[in-house]
Amino acid sequence: MKALEGIKILDFTHVQSGPTCTQLLGFFGADVIKVERPGVGDATRKQLVDVKGADSLYFTMLNHNKRSITLNTKTDSGKQVLEKLVKECDVMVENFAPGALDRMGFSWERIQELNPRVILASVKGFGPGPYEDCKVYENIAQCAGGSASTTGFRDGVPMVTGAQIGDSGTGLHLALGIVTALFQREKSGKGQKVLAPMQDGVLNLCRVKLRDQQRLKAGPLEEYSQFGEGHPFGDATPRAGNDSGGGQPGKILKCKGWETDPNAYTYFITQAAVWKNVCDVIGKPEWKEHEDFATPAARLPRLNEIFDAIEAWTMTQDKFDVMEICNPLNIPVGPILSMKEIAEEPSLRETGTIVEVDHPERGKYLTVGCPIKLSDSPVDVERSPLLGEHTEEVLTEVLGYSASDIESMRTDGAI
Ligand code: COA
């Protein structure tokens, strides 16, 4: 038994944001039916190709646990099939450019007419307002949601982050909206529209930066290293480099081997509760009681001096040894792990967070399994479907079409 067993998802998503969402629902046991254009499919199938002729990792890693049917929804019979799918499914998920679904003839009103219990879940770049008609990709969302202006170094350009907070982050938000709407439907009996704009999703993840924006009115942000460096604050939350975003100062520091290994670094947090342990580890016992260092407030203007001293110690240690030494002393530290190290980490394989999948076109590859663990809903990661692999199966088993219906749809170019 899986959590979402029996729930049918009409997956009309493409690229990354929508597919991330429906893949999660698939991991939880929903029957996800991905609708793709005949002969073309989701554009990511053939983007960033590494194995000639095979679906790309971009596609395979975002479309596990789904069935694929091809359907040209701009033909009459294609539209009829889509109507049947809307009637049959619990949720329709899409992330087309604004207006595309309406142009296809599937407005919210029409969808409700077809199935009042269906939930229509959409990712768009922006919510209602001046930019609602814009097409949006990951980095635009990071820029418009406040992430880029607050990421990077004070004296550098705004930076986008490697974590796909605009696409995958919004997909996560949408998945929560969908299961919440399903829960409400239990009581109301009705479907509803769920909208997750990418700008809103990114801003939600940048909540602490809006916190800091408002704190600026009360004076400089003392936990930012620019405070100790004597650089005045402007009227907007600045970029904070690798400063910790919370109340416990932290920084990325060099470890042994940093000269040749780009990831020989550790994140080190000078948590107030264990300050004395930090002083002992770095060989500065005199700082425990010294008036310039003993309290968090006294330390704030001296963070660079403090982190320089800590780094003088971390540079003598391997990043994993820093963890071995600091963990028993309750000092929060974390090695900077490369993707290679993560891919090879046995404990992540054991928890199903990194999974090896076999694919008929490309052979074995690694993917990220379900990052949310439910004790009563085990996840079996299944390979992504080939384009249209389940067209006949879905048309017959789910929608009840006959072999001759399917043949004429093929002749019409509908599937
Ligand atoms: N049969 C027939 N037509 C289909 C179809 C099918 N199965 N599937 C898609 N189409 C059509 C759409 O109806 C649309 O046609 P229209 O422009 O005539 O209305 C067309 O294909 C293209 O869809 P669109 O979404 O505009 O794709 P795009 O490649 O031009 O834009 C995005 C891509 C991602 C920029 C855009 O979809 C978008 O902004 N999405 C919302 C935000 C988002 O999710 N962005 C992140 C992506 S990771």
* Phi, psi torsion values for 158, nearest 5 degrees: -55, 150
Distance 97 CA to ligand 1 centre (A): 5
d(C-alpha 271, C-alpha 276), whole Å: 10
Q: Amino acid letter at 102?
A: D
**Crossing angle of helices 403-412/76-88, nearest 10°?**
130
Name which of 391, 390, 384 is nearest 58 in CA terms: 384
Name which of 14, 53, 55, 8 is nearest 33 in CA terms: 8
Which residue has its alpha carbon closest to ligand 1 atom 33? 97
* Phi, psi torsion values for 120, nearest 5 degrees: -105, 115
Distance 42 CA to ligand 1 centre (A): 10
d(C-alpha 300, C-alpha 293), whole Å: 9
Residue whose token pair is 């199935």: 115
Hey, which residues does 358 pair with through a beta bridge? 364
* Closest atom, ligand 1, to C-alpha of 96: 25
pLDDT of residue 258: 98
Which residue has its alpha carbon closest to ligand 1 atom 44? 95
Q: Best substitution site from 96, 104, 172 to test ligand 1's pocket, by max atoms within 8 Å of Cβ?
A: 96
Distance 211 CA to ligand 1 centre (A): 35
* Closest atom, ligand 1, to C-alpha of 138: 46
Name which of 74, 168, 71, 179 is nearest 121 in CA terms: 179
Ligand 1 binding site (Cβ under 6 Å of any ligand atom) = 15-18, 35, 37, 71-74, 95-97, 100, 103-104, 123-125, 135-137, 167
| Residue 281 contacts residue 325 (beta carbons within 8 Å) | yes
Which residue has its alpha carbon closest to ligand 1 atom 7? 37
Residues acting as catalytic residues: 167
Residue whose token pair is 């998802």: 9
Spell out the residues 6+ positions from residue 401 whose beta carbon is closer than 8 angstroms to its own. Answer: 81, 395, 409
Q: Which helix (H) or strand (E) holds 343?
A: helix 339-344
d(C-alpha 71, C-alpha 77), whole Å: 9
* Closest atom, ligand 1, to C-alpha of 167: 48
Hey, which residues does 363 pair with through a beta bridge? 359
Q: Which helix (H) or strand (E) holds 203?
A: helix 198-205
* Phi, psi torsion values for 17, nearest 5 degrees: -65, -55
Which residue has its alpha carbon closest to ligand 1 atom 46? 137
Give the sign of the dihedral formed by CA 290, CA 296, CA 300, CA 303: positive
For residue 360, give Cα distances in angstroms to 9, 365, 367, 379, 415.
Answer: 25, 11, 15, 21, 22
- Joined together, the tokens standing for residue 127 give 């919510």
pLDDT of residue 247: 82
Distance 407 CA to ligand 1 centre (A): 27
| Residue 335 contacts residue 320 (beta carbons within 8 Å) | yes
Which residue has its alpha carbon closest to ligand 1 atom 39? 135
What is the pairing mode between strands 31-36 and 265-269?
Answer: unpaired
* Closest atom, ligand 1, to C-alpha of 135: 39
Q: Give the three-state DSSP class for 69.
A: strand
Q: Which helix (H) or strand (E) holds 136?
A: none
Which residue has its alpha carbon closest to ligand 1 atom 25? 96
Give the sign of the dihedral formed by CA 144, CA 146, CA 151, CA 155: positive
Q: Best substitution site from 135, 194, 387 to test ligand 1's pocket, by max atoms within 8 Å of Cβ?
A: 135
Distance 17 CA to ligand 1 centre (A): 12
Name which of 141, 146, 170 is nearest 158 in CA terms: 146
Q: Amino acid letter at 131?
A: Y
Instruction: Give this prediction's pTM.
Output: 0.96
H helices within 48-197, ranges in order? 57-60, 76-88, 100-103, 108-114, 138-144, 168-188
Mind listing the pLDDT tens digit of every residue in the chain (415 residues)? 999 999 999 999 999 999 999 999 999 999 999 999 999 999 999 999 999 999 999 999 999 999 999 999 999 999 999 999 999 999 999 999 999 999 999 999 999 999 999 999 999 999 999 999 999 999 999 999 999 999 999 999 999 999 999 999 999 999 999 999 999 999 999 999 999 999 999 999 999 999 999 999 999 999 999 998 999 999 999 999 999 877 899 999 999 999 999 999 999 999 999 999 999 999 999 999 999 999 999 999 999 999 999 999 999 999 999 999 999 999 999 999 999 999 999 999 999 999 999 999 999 999 999 999 999 999 999 999 999 999 999 999 999 999 999 999 999 999 9
* Closest atom, ligand 1, to C-alpha of 12: 8
Distance 14 CA to ligand 1 centre (A): 8
Q: Give the three-state DSSP class for 374.
A: coil
Q: Amino acid letter at 218?
A: A
Distance 263 CA to ligand 1 centre (A): 38
Which residue has its alpha carbon closest to ligand 1 atom 35? 135
- Joined together, the tokens standing for residue 232 give 């005045």
Q: Which helix (H) or strand (E) holds 88?
A: helix 76-88
* Closest atom, ligand 1, to C-alpha of 78: 1
Residue whose token pair is 């307002």: 129
Spell out the residues 6+ positions from residue 15 whose beta carbon is closer than 8 angstroms to its own. Answer: 42, 43, 44, 95, 137, 167
pLDDT of residue 246: 79
